[in-house]
Chain A
Amino acid sequence: MMSATPSAATSDRTDAARMTASSPPLAAPLKTPRDLGWIGVPVVAVAGLAAFWLFPSDLGLLTRILAAALYVLSLDLVLGYCGIATLGQAAMFGTGAYVAGIAAVNWVADPLALLAIGGVAGGLIALATGALILHARGLTLLMLTVAVTQIVQEVANKARDWTGGSDGLSGIDPNPVFGAFRFDMVGRTSYLFALAVLVVALLVARRIVRSPFGLACRGVKEDPLRVSALGGSPKAYLVAMYAVAGVFAGVAGALTAVTSGIVGLDSASFSWSAEALVMLVLGGTGRLYGAVIGTVAFMAVHHILAATDPFHWMLFIGLFLMGVVLFLPGGILSGFERLAGLLRRKGDKA
C-alpha cells in the first residue's frame, strides 16, 4: 500500500526521462541561436558570387550544390530546431520536384510560380504525413519516415504517364526569370537564380528560428513534457515545423527541377534522405549555416572522389562519418569553433 505512490512517481519520472532522452545529443545544444548573427547571409552571398567568377565552367555542379544546400537547410529546421531524427526528408524534396516538374511540362512556365508550387506541394505532403507519423519516436519514427519516402518514390515510379517513371521527367523548360533573364546553356542564370533563392531562404529560416514559434520548437526539442506543462501541444509544434521544413524542401526540389530541367526517381529516395542527414551533420545541426557548409563540403569532395571511383567516395565518407560521430559530435562548424577557442586561449596566454 505504502509503496504504491512512489512507484507511480517513479514511472512518471522514467517516462519523462525517455521523452527528454529522445532529443539526439548530436544535435548540439544551443546556447543561443548560433547562426553567426547577421553576418552569415552576406557571407554566403559574397562567397556564392566569388564562386561564380572563380569556377565559370562548373556552374552546373555549383547550382546543384546550392539547391542541395536549401534541401539540407530544410532538414536542419526539423532536426536542429525540433530534434526530429528523420530519414524521410527526400519525400518532401521529391514531391516538390515532381509536382513543379509536372506543372512546368503541362501548364506553368514562370520559374517563381514553379518554386511556389513545389513549396506548397512539399508543405502539404509534410503536413499530411507529419500529422500521421509524428506521434512516434526513435526507430519507429525513422521507419515511418522511410516508409513515406518509399511510397512517394513508388507512386512516382508507377505514374509513368505523368512522371516518366524510371526514365525520369524531362522537358522542363521554364520562361526567363522575371521575363528578363533567360536560362542560358552555360547555366549562369540558373546559378544566380539558385543563389538568390538560397539567400532568401536563409533569411526566412533565420527569421523563423528566432520567432516565438522557433523558441517553442526549441523547447519541444529539449523537453516535450515541460512544454505541455506550459500549456502547449508538443505535437502541434512538431507537425507545424515539419510542414514548414516541407515547404523549404519542396522549394529545393522545384529549384532543382527548374535549373536542371529533369527530375529523377532518386530525388525521392532513401539514400537522398540519408545523404541530407550526412551533409547536415558534417556541417553541424541547429545553426542554419552548418547546412550550407556541410553540403558544399560533401558535394565538392563527392565530385572529386566519385569521378574516379564511387567506392573511393564511399570509403572516404564512411570513415569521415564515423570520425565525426566519435570525435566531433557537433559537426565541422563546431570543430572550427573549438579550434578558434583553443587559439584564443593560446593568444590570451601569450
Chain B
Amino acid sequence: METLFGIAVDGVAYGMILFIISVGLSVTLGLMRVVNLAHGAFAMVGGYVASYAAQSLGLPYPAALVVAVALTVLATLPLEKLLYRRIYGHANELGQVLLTIGLTFVIVATVNYLFGPTLKRIPLPDLLLGTVSLGPKAIPTHRAFVIGMGAVTLLGLWWLLERTDFGIRLRAAVDDPAMAAALGIRTERLYMATFALGTGLAALGGVLGAELLPLEPYYAIRYIVLFLAVVAVGGAGSIFGSAAAALALGITDTAGKYLIPNFGEFFFYAALILILFRWPHGFFKGRTA
C-alpha cells in the first residue's frame, strides 16, 4: 500500500512536470508544425536562470521562478524571428530536426561555458520543504506543489484556449491555417505569441522540475526524447492529450522504477511503439484543441 501510494504521488508529480514542459512543445508543433528538438534546451535555460537568480542573486523562490520564465521568453523570442520562422511548415521536418539539434548544441555549450558542467540546484523555500498530510498519509510539500502547479497550468491553458480571443484564433489557425489567414488572423503575431507561450511553459517546467530532472548541461539532450514521446502519444496540439499522455508516462515510468527496476524503460518504449502503430496521430488526437 505504501509503495502504491508512493508511486501514485511521485508518478503524478513527475507526470505533471512532463506535462508542463511537453504541452508547450505540443502547441508549437500543432500550430507551426515545427519539430522543435531545442524545446528541452529552453526548459534547461529556465532552470539555470532560476538557479542563478536564487543562488547568486539571492532572490526568493517565487521571484526566481518569474524571472526565469520571463528571461527565457525574452531570450528565445529573437530566435523565433531569426530561425524558426524560416522552418515553419510540415514539409521541412529534416531541416527542422537539424536546425534545432544545432541550436540545442549551441545552448548546451553556452550553458556549460557560463555555468560549468556541475549539477545546479534551485534551493526550495522552507515552505516547500516539509510534508503536507492528506488524511492518514503525508506527501512531500514540493510534490504537492508541483501537482498543484500542473493542475493550474492545465486549467489555465484550457481557459486560455476555450475562453479567450487568443485561444479562438489559435484553434482556428491550428485547424485550418489557410482559412485563418483568409479570415484576417495575423498568423505572424499569433505564431510569435504561441512560441512565447511554448518557451514560457518549458521554462516553468524546467524550474519546477529541477528536483526530478536534474539540471546539468546535457539535460537538453537527455530528456528531449521523453518530451517528444509525450507529444507523439498525446497528439500534436492537444492539451488534454498531452496531460493524459504525460501522466500515463510519468506513472508508468515511476512504477517501473519501483516495481521492475530492470525493464522500466523497455516497457515504456514498447508501449510507445504499440500505441503509435495503432494510433499514428496520437492516442488522444482530436479530443480538443
Contact = CB atoms under 8 A, between A and B. Distances in A.
Contacts of B262: 158
Contacts of B92: 24-26
B87 interface: yes
A209 B281 CA distance: 32
Interface in A304-345: 311-312, 314-315, 317-322, 324-326, 329
Interface residues of B, number: 48
B102 A321 contact: yes
B188 interface: no
Interface stretch (A29-37, A106-114, A134-142, A214-222): A134-142
Interface in B253-283: 262-263, 265-266, 269-270, 272-273, 276-277, 280-282
Interface stretch (B48-56, B65-73, B93-101, B135-143): B93-101
B210 interface: no
A135 B102 CA distance: 28
| Interface size range on A against B | 35 or more
A140 B229 CA distance: 9
A150 B107 CA distance: 24
Contact of B221 (A18, A155, A271): A271
Contacts of A274: 101
A85 B97 contact: yes
B91 A315 contact: no
Nearest to A27: B94
Contacts of A315: 105-106, 109-110, 113
B35 A139 contact: yes
Interface string A126-148: 00000011011111101110111
B94 A321 contact: no
A24 B93 contact: yes
A154 B269 contact: yes
Nearest to B272: A147
B31 interface: no
A46 interface: no
B153 to A, nearest CB: 23
Contact of B106 (A135, A137, A139, A322): A322
Nearest to A129: B273
A244 interface: no
B228 A139 contact: yes
Interface of B: 29, 35, 83, 86-87, 90-95, 97-99, 101-110, 112-113, 117, 217, 221, 225, 228-229, 231-232, 236, 262-263, 265-266, 269-270, 272-273, 276-277, 280-282
Given A22-B93, A144-B273, 12 more contacts: A135-B280, A136-B280, A138-B93, A140-B232, A148-B273, A154-B269, A277-B94, A277-B101, A281-B94, A317-B102, A320-B102, A321-B99
